[in-house]
Every structure is written in structure tokens, then in C-alpha cells.
Amino acid sequence: MTSEWEVGRVEDLKPGTRRIINVKGRQVGVFNVAGRFYALRNICPHQGAPLCEGEIGSTLLPSRPGEYVVGREGEVLRCPWHQWEFDITSGRCLVDSRVRVKTFEVVVRDGHLFLIA
């Protein structure tokens, strides 16, 4: 059986921002990545840090020596304790894809965001 929780209005969660909410006694971070919405459990699988409070950023893509090409802008979440990096869109760790954080579906309905769990 699935349940849903209202997160808020779409207009209140601007691109590049997040909101941390409580769902059944657990914290979940809801992110707006370029107008698409994603949700991750607010706990790093490494050592239990509040993952969703970490820095939102990007990665560097393969490039020539001395050249820096930025990719995945706004899709990377860095753990505030040990800097492990996770893909906001999938919950997978960027270094070891076997490690992941739980994700949840977010739907938009009538201008409101709902978390499905």
C-alpha cells in the first residue's frame, strides 16, 4: 500500500533548492533539479550523516589536460561529513554504484508536490 504526503507548492521549491520533510518519522530531502523533482532519504549509507543537508553541485567530465568541463550541474549531492557524492536523480553513489540511498517518487498535481512512499 502506498501513501502520499504533500511537500508544498511547486513555485516554492525553485530549481537548485531542496526541502527536508518528515515522513513516518524519517527525514526525506526533496530536490528541484532543473525543474524536475527528486526525493532521497536524509541519511548517508556510509556513516549515517544527514545527507540531504550536503552541498549540491556537479562533476567534472573527461577532457583534455588543463581543460575543465563541468557536467551534471545540480545533480550531485555531497555528504557533509565525508564528501561521498550521490546522484540526486537515482540515489547512486558516484564512486561505487553498488552503494545507494533510498529514493522516493515525487509527483506534481495542480501546482503541488506530493511524495509517494
Q: Where are the domains of the chain?
A: 4-116
pTM across the whole model: 0.91
Between CA 15 and CA 101 the distance in angstroms is 21
Q: What pLDDT is attached to residue 42?
A: 98
pLDDT along the chain (117 residues), means of 10: 90 96 94 97 96 95 91 94 96 93 97 95
Please calculate the CA angle 66-72-76 and round it to the nearest 5 degrees.
Answer: 110
Q: What is the CATH number of domain 4-116?
A: 2.102.10.10
Q: Are 100 and 45 in contact (CB under 8 A)?
A: yes
